Amino acid sequence: MNIFTLLFFFVAPLLAFPTVDVEKRAPSFEWTAWGDSYASGVGSGSYIYGRRCLRYDGAYPELIQSDPESLLPGSGGKLNNVVCSGAKAAEVEEFQFYTEDQFWGQPTWQYYPRPSSGKPTMGTLSVGGDDIDFPGILNNCVMDGFPYPLSSGFKSRTCDEQRDFSWSLICQNGDHDTPNADLVAAVDSVIKKIVQYGQAASGNSFRLYVTGYGQFFNDQDPGCNTVTFARTANPNPDGQQHPMMTTDLRQDFNKMTLTLNAAIQQAVSQNSGSNVKYIDIDSVLGTGHRFCEPGITEPDQNNPNLWFWHYPYNQNDDSTNPTIQYLNSVAQDNVNTLTWNPNSTLWTDYVDDFWSKVDWAQLNQTAGGDNVTAQYDLWPDTIGYRAKVFHPQPAYHQAIYEAIVHQYLADISPAPVSPPPPPPYQAGTCCFHLNEWEDCNPESDDLYANITLLDNSKNVIYQTPASYFANNGLGLPINDANGTTVQGPLPYSLAITGEHENDYIQFSYGDLSWQSKSPNGGAQCTVGGWNPRDGPQCPDGVFDNYSPAENQMDCCFPC
């Protein structure tokens, strides 16, 4: 997702593919990562290569490759990392399916080199953010302007105009809960092309994992209501009016993420028969890892719990570097002729138009030309350092990597073997010992039972599972309207319901029904009585001790 502003699109001299060590382990599988800057990992780890594609070695595809948690069998496999920051769905289709490595090509040289998509048995995809003009939201509502020195003269929208424009791309006919059909179709088209490509390489066993996006904000805490994330207003106020990160604005941005995710999920569901799975990366954020969390004075770039990047407000955006000066001159010469329609132009398209005016040879000369020691490489220190704003930090990429790999391993594991049938039971008279418990919950939810059931030969054929006693549990709930049934190998289930009125338990087995205090049809119980007699001991504000009450009984019935 290309959320970086114009300063982020500087170019370095032609860069070949990075040199890597020969793999010390044989790959267990080959896989391909498709998508945008959520997958390229801008800002996380070290910049690898790709110019404006901004691929970093801390991205979740690279983590799947290195597998730091040793989750995958063998090695992490061979990775074809074709992701590219700023890629819309249509651009993934057009420029991320090369069968051979590319060093130069369309749409411009600024997105090269691009590796081959290989012959994968598995793939990942993150796409959709640039289709809803999320870079425009960052520029016009969050950072409130484009970074110096290329900000002068470029067209912008007000924050309200930008929100209306992005919503028109996300939702259907103004309904914020219903994804835009065109957006769903765009993501669906990418998925289908990947599936077709993957199945051609490895057959019907090819698997694809499609991520959503994370909600950026805690949108309930009021602490950010008087805070701006504007670039020029931090760390020191600039005395200008800027959008404040109010709860209403944060809730609107989070809703955009949720509806975008719904569009992606809908596209995935349309391909579920082709081994395509949706990976919910919003839920893995958990609590405390978003902007504007309680107790945080934003914008806090040093919050150790934050899983998104802030803009580097404490950096000097001014620069006398000749590369920047050249790009600034191109901007000033062409800004009034760039294609701009406030009702339809996406920020990525606007910037692409600007870059079409840049002369590669002249730019390369300003960056040092053929003098390697003099070359000015802006990618890791200037572009990526700012482009990372609102992208996942390494901890978030780690969580995404683990979520994808766990799902992949679950999908390739052998199908679970059905448990063996329960052993036959000896018919005749079945008996059970039952411990009835009463705790301090309301009467509608305070009765439990622990039961051991024996057949006619005194073989144990059922016991209350141990899981019901975890966390101080008292057994199976047997409350009225919430009773329980046990069966084991019996042909019918034994229903058990506790009754407060008249203090008895109601049992039924097939057509037979009886009470703990009233025998019937050959079924009867011997009841010991409650201990303590007055019921459970509950905290009352004076005494904090708690002790449930117990009632034991032995029952037998024809089985």
Q: Residue 504: CA atoms inside 13 Å, Cβ hemisphere, count?
A: 13
Amino acid letter, 487: Q
- Give which of 353, 301, 307 is closest to 330, Cα–Cα: 353
The whole-angstrom separation of Cα 328 and Cα 9 is: 12
| pLDDT at position 180 over 90 | yes
For residues 135-148, average pLDDT: 81
Res 101 pLDDT > 50: yes
- How confident is the model at residue 314, as a pLDDT? 72
Q: State the pLDDT confidence band at 328, using cuts at 50, 70 and 90.
A: confident
Q: Is the pLDDT of residue 344 over 60?
A: yes
Contact yes or no for 558/521 (Cβ under 8 A):
yes
pLDDT at 541: 64
Q: Are 120 and 80 in contact (CB under 8 A)?
A: yes
pLDDT at 485 exceeding the cut of 70? yes
pLDDT band at 306 (very low <50, low <70, confident <90, very high): very high
Helix (H) / strand (E) element for 55: namely strand 55-56
pLDDT surpassing 70 at residue 75:
no
Residue 340 has pLDDT above 50, yes or no: yes
**518-539 tens-digit pLDDT:** 999 999 999 999 998 888 888 8
Strand partners, 453: 432, 462
Helix axes 247-269, 159-170, angle to 10 degrees: 20
Higher pLDDT, 275 or 173: 275
Work out the pLDDT band at 110, boundaries 50, 70, 90: low
Given this model, what pLDDT does residue 261 score?
A: 96
DSSP 126-138: E--TGGGTHHHHI
For all residues of the chain together, what is the average pLDDT?
Answer: 85
- What local confidence, expressed as pLDDT, does residue 349 receive? 84
Classify residue 544 as exposed, middle or buried by CB count within 10 Å of its CB (0-12, 13-18, 19+).
Answer: exposed
pLDDT class for 29, splitting at 50, 70, 90? confident
- Residue 523 backbone phi and psi in degrees, to 5: -100, 135
Q: According to the model, what pLDDT value does residue 167 have?
A: 96
C-alpha distances in angstroms, 92 versus 54, 80, 300, 425?
15, 14, 34, 62
pLDDT mean over 163-191: 94
* pLDDT at res. 149: 47
Which of 31-35, 45-49, 420-424 shows the lowest per-residue confidence on average (mean pLDDT)?
420-424
Residue 478's contacts (CB-CB under 8 Å, 6 or more residues apart) are 436, 447, 448, 449, 484, 496, 497, 498, 505
Give the separation between CA 48 and CA 377, rounded to whole angstroms: 12
Q: Which one is predicted more confidently, 10 or 414?
A: 414
Q: What is the Cα–Cα distance from 253 to 419, expressed in whole angstroms? A: 48
Is residue 505 a contact partner of residue 436, using CB atoms and an 8 Å limit?
A: yes
Highest mean pLDDT of the ranges 138-147, 184-193, 197-206:
184-193
Give percent of the chain above pLDDT 70: 85
pLDDT for res 255: 96
* H-helix or E-strand spanning residue 104: none
Tens digit of each residue's pLDDT (9 = 90 or more) over 235-264: 889 889 999 999 999 999 999 999 999 999
103-112, 208-217, 495-504 — which one is most confidently predicted on average? 208-217
Nearest CA to 214 among 38, 4, 404, 408?
38
- How far is the C-alpha of 127 from the C-alpha of 2, rounded, in Å? 11
C-alpha triplet 498, 504, 507: angle, nearest 5°: 65
Please compute the mean of the pLDDT values over residues 504-515 and round it to a whole number. 94
Kindly indicate the confidence band of residue 114, based on its pLDDT and cuts at 50, 70 and 90: confident
**Per-residue model confidence (pLDDT) at position 265:** 97
Contacts of 458 (CB under 8 A, 6+ apart): none
Lowest mean pLDDT among 4-13, 92-101, 173-182, 222-231: 4-13
**In the prediction, which pLDDT does 422 show?**
61
Q: Are 169 and 128 in contact (CB under 8 A)?
A: no
> Could you tell me which residue, 472 or 342, shows the higher pLDDT?
342
pLDDT of residue 343 exceeding 50:
yes
Provide the H-helix boundaries in 379-485: 384-387, 394-412
More confident residue, 334 or 191: 191
Model pLDDT for residues 353-410, shown as the tens digit of each residue: 887 888 878 877 776 655 544 455 666 666 666 778 899 999 999 999 999 999 999 8
Q: Which two tokens stand for residue 236?
A: 């020191």
Q: What is the DSSP letter of 223?
A: G
Q: Mind listing the pLDDT tens digit for each residue in 433-468?
A: 999 999 888 888 889 999 999 999 999 999 998 888
Taking the C-alpha atoms of residue 515 and residue 31, their distance in angstroms, rounded to an integer, is 63
Strand 447-454 and strand 460-463: the pairing is antiparallel
Across the strands, what pairs with 22? none
